[in-house]
Amino acid sequence: MTRTLKPGPAMHAEGAPPGVAPPAIAVEDIVKRYGDFEAVKKVNFQVADGEIFGLLGPNGAGKSTLIRMMTTLIPVTSGRALVGGHDVSKEANAVRRMIGVIPQALTSDQDLTVEENLSIYAKLYSVPRAEREKNINEVLEAVDLAKWRGAQTKTLSGGMRRRLEIARGLVHDPRIFFLDEPTTGLDPVSRIAVWEMLNNLKKTRSLTMLLTTHYMEEADRLCDRIAIVDHGTLVALGTPVELKQSVPGSNVVEVQFAREWDEWPARLGQLTGVTDVQSQSAGVYRVLTSNGSQTTTQLVEMATSLGEQLTSLSVQNTSLDDVFVHYTGRQLRDEQIKPVNFIMPPRPGAQP
Amino acid sequence: MNRMFAIIEREMRKFFRSPVLMIMSMMLPLVQLIILGNAFGGKVRGARVAVVDYDHGPQSVKIREEFDSVAVNIATFTTLNYNDERQAREDVRTGKIDAAVIIPAQYSRHVYTKDAPRLGLVVDNSDQFMSSSIEGEMQSLVDALNQPVVPDRVVKNIALQIVELYPYVEYMKYLLSGSIALAMYISVMIGGGMLYIDDKARGVHEGYLVTPITKLELVMGLNIAGAIKAVLSGICLTVIGSLMAGLGVIFHPAALFDLFLLILGTSIAFNGMMFLMMVRVDDPLVPRAMFGVLNTLLFFPSGAIYPIAAFPKWLRAIAIVDPFTYAIHGFKAILLKDGGLVSIERDLLFLFAFGIGTLLIATPLFKRTL
């Protein structure tokens, strides 16, 4: 069951209340079925114009399936998705004209130059010749690749190639931008650079963005609202602050005992304000509590009375990691994918 | 249309930036042309033939003189003297020598008395080509020995007068047509089949599918680009191969035009066939695994290296639907016979119809979604 923390007005593209802008994306009871397996189960959400919306979820949760349905890559089994007011099933080409898509893999042609890659895509979107050059210059400036326009793509680093992919998705000046795990595989510096770039693009181009990510920090820093998807259903939806507040316990106490003991979870659970105890490795516990300072004091007193030593102790606010674990659980997900005998190895430099 | 040209532009830029494809597509046919062209079609030289002479009479001396004459002139074989027939047979069996001639005792006497003189020839018939060559040479020697010393007053020998329409065609020239078709097939297989599936597996096509390009534009873009690559390979091999084989037909403008039409028809036929086979394939291993099988299945029954008339019925059935057959027939008609457009009309008709037909079947099968 979806937990909508702050439900918005029920807005449809064709039926938005007067004075209220229609949503850029509206997903209504959307279902994707592969044979007997239901990958997406009656998901509903809306993305407002100009919003950055994040889809979070473990592997195999259905994030990529959702984004692929919204970008017309796979057919919708039932329900509907409106993108920019157009139904993805009935007006696929109209949807394609107004969206930019950054797939998970780096798919720019390595044998072509940066400019050639952009030019080919501008032509695929039928950008008029007069605008093509201007658009290419603008997006290259926006992603800080202007001085590399003549470089062959295979000579670029992973971060630069990801920026090229972003430029490629923007070359036809789309209204809505879909990014499927845009920073996966990037080093921390490149990742932060991409975040800053996406924030700038949102401001300068009035873009609506929908992104999927594994990184909680990325979702926290970029997204206005986040939807958590698990087992094909939407389990939570709200702003990052709302989601954090929705988890019982406003603080997290992380403690490591010198000695591993089976009794620790039970003992920790008895402390005042504790709502959850998560066992980490080697005697490390994450204790969710509504009162961080009181729990910390009691924890130290308990350890002293038992004659046990603490190796480390820290108190922090609830993070999106805790939200994620709260809603999706800690169970490892074994993802089944379409069986193929051979997976094409990436060409050198294909992965960041 | 602009979107179709964008696909073609992308494919051609990649092609010219990475000339490995063109080199690889021409390497095998060129090597084949050089090696097979020189290896096949020649005559046997220097075979070792044992002579076991139990006669030692004047007629056996005459035979040995004939052998010596062959050895120093046409050099089909040289002779080795053996004393033991069994040893000679054993050496033929073990491959030490290629054949053995047995001149039996009393041979000269039988010749003089006209009492059915016989010579024995032991050959290794596991090597049909070698044994046939030696048998042929021996038969002509025996025929010469059978000629009467005093000719008959009425000549009864009937001779067949053969009129050869074309100058002597060396095997390399014969093979060139197959090599051109093979180069185009490899170009289509690598440039159209393998790269297409590799791009699919790498997600490049996913990038196309989110753009407003139509299915027809995408299919046509990919196929026209593939056909252009195959045409370039075909032209290169026609020019290089003709120069190597010593065929001057490429300097005649009318023949060049006919050759271009054939190359174009062949590339469209090969591309259509390849696209139909690959349109639903996702696994990059498949085109690699199919490469050798298809090569054997299409190239060898086409008459490229052996005449179709010698095939069994089931193999002829393959040849009838094989685009290689028509491509090779057409190339031979122009390169070897300078037959003009009229000689390749049927081939062109088949090739263009085959290419368009396979594309018409493949297009609805092409998935616009993942």
> Is A174 within 8 Å of A180 (Cβ atoms)?
no
Q: How far is A316 from chain B (nearest CA, A)?
A: 41
Residue A73 lies in a domain: yes
Name chain A contacts of B2, Cβ cutoff 8 Å. 123, 126
By the CB < 8 Å criterion, does B282 face chain A? yes
Q: How far apart are CA A86 and CA A146, in angstroms?
A: 34
> 3-class DSSP state for residue A320?
helix
The reply to whether A149 and A259 lie within a common domain is no
By the CB < 8 Å criterion, does B3 face chain A? yes
Residue A166 DSSP class? H
Q: How many Cα atoms sit within 13 Å of B264 on the Cβ side?
A: 10
Residue A335 lies in a domain: no
Confidence of residue B154 (pLDDT cuts 50, 70, 90): low
The reply to whether A85 and A58 lie within a common domain is yes
Q: Over 50: is that where the pLDDT of A12 sits?
A: no
Residue labelled with tokens 């039409």 = B261
The reply to whether A276 and A184 lie within a common domain is no
Residue A310 lies in a domain: yes
Stretch 50-109 of chain B: residues touching chain A, C-beta under 8 Å: none
Ranking A4-13, A180-189, A227-236, B340-349 by mean pLDDT, the lowest is A4-13
- A274-283 long-range contacts (CB < 8 A, ≥24 apart) are A274/A249, A275/A248, A275/A249, A276/A248, A276/A249, A276/A326, A278/A325, A278/A330, A280/A254, A282/A256, A283/A256, A283/A257, A283/A258, A283/A259, A283/A311
The reply to whether A275 and A216 lie within a common domain is no
The reply to whether A206 and A165 lie within a common domain is yes
pLDDT in tens, B37-82: 777 767 788 899 999 999 999 989 988 888 888 888 878 888 999 9
Q: Which residue of B has its CA nearest to A93?
A: B212
Residue A15 lies in a domain: no
Inter-chain touch A123–B370, beta carbons under 8 Å: no
The reply to whether A50 and A145 lie within a common domain is yes
Name chain A contacts of B282, Cβ cutoff 8 Å. 340
Strand B77-82: give its sheet, edge to edge: B77-82, B47-53, B99-103, B120-123
Ranking A166-180, B286-300, B323-337 by mean pLDDT, the lowest is B286-300
Inter-chain touch A111–B203, beta carbons under 8 Å: no
Question: Tell me, what CATH number does A25's domain have?
Answer: 3.40.50.300
Helix B171-187 vs helix B253-278: crossing angle, to nearest 10: 40
The reply to whether A294 and A233 lie within a common domain is no
The reply to whether A237 and A254 lie within a common domain is no
> 3-class DSSP state for residue A262?
coil
Q: How far apart are CA A267 and CA A256, in angstroms?
A: 14
Domain boundary among A187, A218, A244: A244
Residue B212 CB: number of other CB atoms within 10 A? Answer: 18
Q: How far is A242 from chain B (nearest CA, A)?
A: 34
Question: Tell me, what CATH number does A265's domain have?
Answer: 3.30.70
| Nearest CB to B283; choose among A68, A71, A342 | A342
The reply to whether A130 and A274 lie within a common domain is no
B7 vs B33, which has greater pLDDT? B7
Q: Over 90: is that where the pLDDT of A344 sits?
A: no
pLDDT in tens, A72-97: 999 999 999 999 999 999 999 999 99
Ranking A2-6, A46-50, A105-109 by mean pLDDT, the lowest is A2-6
Domain boundary among A206, A225, A244: A244
| pLDDT of res. A258 | 87
Q: Which residue of B has its CA nearest to A110?
A: B14
Residue A60 lies in a domain: yes
The reply to whether A208 and A66 lie within a common domain is yes
Q: How far apart are CA A202 and CA A196, in angstroms?
A: 10
Average pLDDT, chain A: 85
Inter-chain touch A107–B202, beta carbons under 8 Å: yes
Print the domain residue range for A121: 3-10+21-244
| pLDDT of res. B169 | 67
Residue A328 lies in a domain: no
The reply to whether A198 and A263 lie within a common domain is no
Name chain A contacts of B369, Cβ cutoff 8 Å. 72-75
Domain boundary among A200, A224, A244: A244
Residue A268 CB: number of other CB atoms within 10 A? Answer: 24
| Nearest CB to A125; choose among B7, B204, B212 | B212
| Nearest CB to A123; choose among B3, B198, B284 | B3
Helix B215-245 vs helix B2-17: crossing angle, to nearest 10: 40
Query: What is the total count of domains within chain A?
Result: 2
The chain A residues in contact with chain B (CB within 8 A) are: 68, 71-75, 93, 96-97, 99, 101, 103-105, 107, 109, 111-112, 116, 120-121, 123-126, 168, 340-344, 346-347, 350
pLDDT in tens, A227-268: 999 989 999 999 998 888 887 777 888 899 888 888 888 999
Residue A236 lies in a domain: yes
Inter-chain touch B212–A96, beta carbons under 8 Å: yes
Residue A315's region, left for phi above 0, alpha for psi from -120 to 50, else beta, is beta
Inter-chain touch B212–A126, beta carbons under 8 Å: yes
Stretch 11-30 of chain B: residues touching chain A, C-beta under 8 Å: 13-14, 17-18
The reply to whether A161 and A181 lie within a common domain is yes
Residue A16 lies in a domain: no
Beta strand B47-53 with B77-82: parallel, antiparallel or unpaired? parallel
By the CB < 8 Å criterion, does B9 face chain A? yes
Inter-chain touch A68–B2, beta carbons under 8 Å: no
Inter-chain touch B204–A74, beta carbons under 8 Å: no
